Amino acid sequence: MPLSRRQFLAALSSTSFIVSVHGSQAEPVAPQAADVSLSFPQGVASGDPQSDSVILWTRAEPKTPGLVNLQLQLAEDEDFASLLATQDVSTGPESDYTLRTHVVGLESDRWYFYRFVSASGATSRTGRTRTAPRPDRAKDLRLAFASCQSYEQSYYGSWARMLADDLAAPPGEQLDAVLHVGDFIYERCWHRRIDGGEQARKVPPFPDGVMGEENRYALTLADYRHLYKTYLADPHLQAARARWPFIVTWDDHEFSNNNYQSYSTYGSDIRLEARRRLDANRCWFEFMPAALDELEEQPAYGFRATELAGDEGDNRLAADSLLIYRRLSWGALLDIVITDNRSYRSPPCVPDDLPAALDLPLTTSRLVSITDAGREYNDGQPPEFLPYGSGDVPNPARKRAPGTCLGEAQRDWFLNALAASDKPWKIWANSLPLIPLNLDLSAIPFGGLEDSVISTDAWVGYPWEMSLLVRELWSQQVGGVVSLSGDHHMHGAGGIRHSMADAEAPEVLLDFNVAALASSPLYGDLYMAASESPEFMALVAKETDGVREPTWHNTLLRGSLSSLAYERTGLKTVSQWLGPNAANPGLRFVDTTHQGYGIAHFSANRLKVQLVGVERTLEAFTEPPPVIYTARFDVPAWQGGESPVLNGPAFTGQPPFPYG
């Protein structure tokens, strides 16, 4: 379809450039004395490395509004003694002075240095990036993965730790790239922490924004730009983006907490906020160096300005203004399949008020299965009424299509991309955890309770589609699929089967869920919720002589009965006899008490994963915080039709209970 005039003009103002290192070069501009009329307050960044290209990014802020002309310089040495390429580029207020450049014609498997220079001498910091190996070479990949970096809830000690360790590592053991699986910014700024304490630091007031009793949140284009500029002014995040190429997807906070499509869902107040979603998409495109239009024969495309009509049709117009699901390759070793788990998902299968209406203490797994599968439940024979309470509450999903997290088009693309891959490894860059996190309340004798879920916002809230995906991968004999996920502010690892209820179902893929890099660990929220329920507290923590010991991980791994026994007796040996938690088959490790990041080392025959727990930094620091523990996992490569073998965790440092 040809571009419309509006799309053509939007493309001209998108500050996207293509640079070929084999093309004509402009005369190099040498850095001179600092030009105080121009600065680069958010540094530089690179993204989506391919065997012959990479995206480069900066933001150049003038003191006087207007067009900014720069020269991009690319070199193989950090002092830029010999330039490989130069290119004149420009930016302006239309994109808030952000600039993204697609550099092509690069050598494969090579490190490069780059910077942006103005004619008057203003010079950005130096960035370092690399290309992927050529398609026929199976070279190792060392990939850090991270998620959830609230600016206010902690300083970026995890980025500082990662940077320091990488700088100290031998050249052959340093990281190649960073995968960020979402919540790069937080659209909401809470006035205080959940425990009532002060936030570690504050995002300055929004240009517009909405002020509420408990928090304030971004509303407009200026607000979202304000968030990205604030976050990227942090020296450690900025240094990370300058040191490694990033591969990114989004989760919910890049637009609105727990959103779906263009709807915000603050509590039970579901609103269509198409203009807000459009602005959020535009800002992500402006500040994230992702290859979108630059990818051939892929569905991804960059931001497309669109006119909103002020009706329900705006939902799709806004959500479709940017398409970010895409596939990258690392030579002959692996493919990285990046999904968007927000733009095409269906509404939550269980409304917030439904469990209480059914007199349920928690949302049961069976209720989720019924309402998510809709008309497909029970082989196409869903119940007319929900089997709870008095039995007279109609099943709201009886005639509805099954829920989806990916949407049909993306789901088909995802399965086709994995099935078509001939690489030994396939990384699923997945913003939401796959590992099961259910409570086996049915195991409590005489309790009359059912197994329940903690949150339906993750993949556990879309069991019908998750089962379909895993069954399809198994039937098509797709091996080597590893999900690297985020969102839940916890470290976790486990094998994934197509059905949580089928104990005989084979494990098909693995999921490594990474803790929050800076956001508050999940355990704090759980403990505050449990404080209002003594019965629930026994599954969350044990208090002895004023000392609190988390038992939540034990509950998820060994089961409710195990934690209840430990809470009553204090004997770890007794609790170890009970379990495992049958509602969480395949779960091997979980820690909700620490922040941190993950490192995945892929080679031709094995995968080694480290989940790193880092001391939380609530105050400004000069030295990187210490590593509290590292959980290590070892995975031999496996073929389609085989189940993966997950060895670990093995620990260095002080592991969390019940491992320590």
Residue type at position 569 = T
Three-state SS sequence of 170-237: CHHHCCCEEEECCCCCCCEEECCCCCCCCCCCCCCCCCCCEECCCEEECCCHHHHHHHHHHHHCCHHH
Residue 438 main-chain phi, psi, to 5 deg? -110, 155
Three-state SS sequence of 244-271: CCEEECCCCCCCCCCCECCEEEECCEEE
Bridge partners for 426 per DSSP: 335, 481
- Provide the Cα torsion 453, 455, 459, 465; round to 10°: 70
Instruction: Say which residue the tokens 């809230």 belong to.
Output: 461
Calpha distance 40→542 (Å, rounded): 50
Q: Tell me how many degrees the CA angle 20-26-32 measures, rounded to the nearest 5.
A: 120
Closest to 247 in 3D by CA, of 420, 114, 410, 430 = 430
Calpha distance 321→144 (Å, rounded): 29
Token representation of residue 614:
């880092």
pLDDT in tens, 418-462: 999 999 999 999 999 999 999 999 999 988 999 999 899 999 999
Output the pTM of the full model.
Answer: 0.96
In sequence order, what are the residues at sequence separation of 6 or more whose Cβ sits closer than 8 angstroms to the Cβ of residue 169? none
Q: Tell me how many degrees the CA angle 529-534-537 measures, rounded to the nearest 5.
A: 55
- Half-sphere exposure of 610 toward its Cβ, with a 13 Å CA cutoff? 19
In sequence order, what are the residues at sequence separation of 6 or more whose Cβ sits closer than 8 angstroms to the Cβ of residue 443? 559, 560, 561, 581, 582
Residue 528 has a pLDDT of: 87
Residue 138 main-chain phi, psi, to 5 deg? -95, 80
Residue type at position 531 = S
Residue pair 427/178 in contact (Cβ under 8 Å)? The answer is no
Residue 602 to residues 262, 274, 482, 620: CA-CA distances in angstroms? 36, 40, 11, 35
Residue 6 has a pLDDT of: 34
Bridge partners for 264 per DSSP: 271
Calpha distance 79→194 (Å, rounded): 47
Closest to 336 in 3D by CA, of 376, 291, 366 = 291
Residue 200 main-chain phi, psi, to 5 deg? -60, -40
Residue 4 has a pLDDT of: 40
Furthest CA-CA distance within the chain: 81
**Helix residue ranges per DSSP H, 307-407:** 314-319, 354-357, 365-373, 377-380
Instruction: Say which residue the tokens 């419309």 belong to.
Output: 4
Calpha distance 602→608 (Å, rounded): 7
**Low-confidence spans in the chain with pLDDT less than 70:** 1-17, 19, 22-27, 29-36
Calpha distance 374→353 (Å, rounded): 18
- Half-sphere exposure of 271 toward its Cβ, with a 13 Å CA cutoff? 13
What is the pairing mode between strands 481-485 and 425-430? parallel
- CA distance between the termini of the chain: 60
Calpha distance 29→70 (Å, rounded): 9
Orientation of helix 274-287 relative to helix 221-232, angle to 10° = 30
Residue 577 has a pLDDT of: 84
Closest to 401 in 3D by CA, of 371, 366, 363, 368 = 371
My answer on whether omega of the bond before 644 falls inside 30° of 0, hence cis, is: no
CB neighbour class for 573 (10 Å; exposed up to 12, middle 13-18, buried from 19):
exposed
Calpha distance 319→264 (Å, rounded): 12
Residue 529 has a pLDDT of: 83
Burial profile 631-659: b = 16 or more Cβ within 10 angstroms, e = fewer? bbbebebbeeeebbebebbebeeebbbbb
